[in-house]
Amino acid sequence: MDHGNTTTMNDILPDSRLQDTKGTVRGQWNKLSSLNWVPVFCANCGIPYGYVPEENCTFACWLCDQCAEKWGLEYGLALMPDEVFWERVKLEQLERYARLLSPEELQVVAESTWNSLSTLLRESPMK
């Protein structure tokens, strides 16, 4: 599936969370609930900086002040993995169906096992 998209892995922002979650802490969310928080690190030098919610967080990219001064402009031109994924889904829909599908139609396609769009949807970073 080549759509002439020149996006490379270097054009995509890195995730600042660990691949194998370590250092998770349980913290208060509001007066009535708490949730797990995972640590984030500078995407360039690896210095630790704070936490993001473990649940419903599919991506986090952070630069420390020193790295942001040096690399911030380049990072500002990069794309988030979700943006790249959904652009691929959009292009595949336009190529295959000559239009964008409704959410209901996408659900039907995602549940099928017989075309390139359903395969792409199964690769979703949202899992």
* 63-104 pLDDT tens trace: 888 888 887 776 666 656 667 677 788 888 898 889 988 888
Q: For 26-59, how does the pLDDT look when each residue is reduced to its tens digit (9 = 90+)?
A: 877 777 777 888 899 998 899 998 888 887 777 7
Query: Six-digit token pair at 61?
Result: 């990219």
State how far the Cα of 65 lies from the Cα of 52, in Å rounded to an integer.
Answer: 18
Which residues, at least 6 apart from 116, have a Cβ–Cβ distance to it below 8 Å?
Answer: 1, 92, 96
How sure is the predictor about 62, in pLDDT bands with cuts at 50, 70 and 90? confident
Three-state DSSP class for residue 59: coil
